[in-house]
Amino acid sequence: MAVPSRRVTNDELAKTIDTSDEWIRSHTGIGARHIADKDTAASDLGLAAARKTLALAIERGAVGEKSPEELALTLDLIVVGTSTQDYYSHPATACLVQRALGAKNAAAMDITIACSSFIYGLETAAALLKADARRNRALVIGVDLLSRITNWEDRATCILFGDGAGAVLLEKTAAKTVPGGILRTILGADGSGWEYLILRRGGSRNPWKKGEVVEEVPAIAMDGRAVYNFAVKVITETIARIMEEENIALDDLALIVPHQANARIVQAAAKRLKIPEELFYLNIEEYANTSSASIPIALDELNRAGRLKKGDLIITVGFGAGLTYGGNLIRW
């Protein structure tokens, strides 16, 4: 994972907008967020997370290569989940990371479905590895700088978001020798909620016009209540479906790693599922909602803290603009 060093507390936000630490904590569970400086873009944070991932794989003896440069050359694919690409539309942020890593043999692509991008990205990478015997390794990065597309005068949205990146290295192994990996993924969408989380300006529907006086900041507009209700519903249903269809009992699960959007969403889903809240990992208090990055950041924290043991069964679950949702069942 990589997060910017600048940490903005709720109290600091309350100096510029009409809000309070008490309101933000009680409605979202957020205590702070990390905000990138003006010279940092998605590929910079994504690259930092990627470099740390390659270094960790070498340090842990998970790969035979001895240097990140050597390891980067073995990558067949780089997938970047992000909605805050360095450049509008193209080039893909994954191409910028590919160049900086020197991963000359890797294909590169972005997945742009807001907060569900990492879950979709993981399944895309796994499927592309399986699809060709010659592909063996993929790097999946989730990175977002939502601070760049946030209206900092809108207290209903700006308190929610933070910047960050996380990454994982996937390697294809023979199923018989290592009974692990991504066992099952559920992906879904409900386009009828397209307007609930939206960046209205700048696309082919509402392009910026020549000579236009830009009064409106290109910022996230959100129907918070509608997204909240959708989130509780799909998180509950996705976890229930994975457990039922894969025949998994509560005792089999080591952890559930949810997208960190609002602690209350997770608590409501836990209650509906009758799953103890403690089974859900939450770090939203420190990072707020980092969109595509929230799940890989959580995975890295858990991994480095020794809380993920080989063989552990975990579920990742999330939702985002679109509206989209999904979940991965993973044998660590």
Q: What is the set of active-site residues?
A: 115, 259, 289
Exposed, middle or buried: residue 198 (CB in 10 Å: 0-12, 13-18, 19+)? middle
Contact 259, 292 (CB under 8 A): no
Q: How far is the CB of 228 from ligand UT7 (least distance, A)?
A: 4
Query: Would you say 68 or 296 has its CB closer to ligand UT7?
Result: 296
* Chain residues that interact with ligand UT7, rule: CB under 6 A: 19, 23-24, 27-28, 115, 155-156, 159, 197, 222, 224-225, 227-228, 231, 261-262, 289, 291, 320
Could you give the CA distance from residue 96 to residue 153 in angstroms, rounded to a whole number? 32
Q: How far is the CB of 283 from ligand UT7 (least distance, A)?
A: 15
**In the complex, which residue's CB is closest to ligand UT7?**
224
Is beta strand 324-331 parallel, antiparallel or unpaired with respect to 181-189? antiparallel
CB contact set of 109 (below 8 Å; sequence gap of 6+): 77, 78, 79, 80, 92, 94, 124
Cα 96 to its chain centre, rounded Å, is: 19
Q: Is the Cβ of residue 4 or residue 320 nearer to ligand UT7 in the bound state?
A: 320
Q: Among 251, 252, 269, which Cα is nearest to 260's?
A: 269
CB of 97 to ligand UT7, least distance (A): 23
- Residue closer to ligand UT7 by CB (options 23, 152) is 23
- Select from 12, 6, 16, 69 the least CA-distant residue to 40: 6
From the CB of 264, what's the least distance to ligand UT7, in Å? 7
In 84-171 the beta strands, taken as DSSP E runs, fall at: 107-111, 137-145, 163-171
| Nearer Cβ to ligand UT7 (98/262) | 262
Q: How far is the CB of 288 from ligand UT7 (least distance, A)?
A: 10
Nearer to ligand UT7, 166 or 320 (CB): 320
Helix (H, G, I), strand (E, B) or coil at 322: coil
Report DSSP letters for 297-317, one per residue. Answer: HHHHHHHHTT---TT-EEEEE
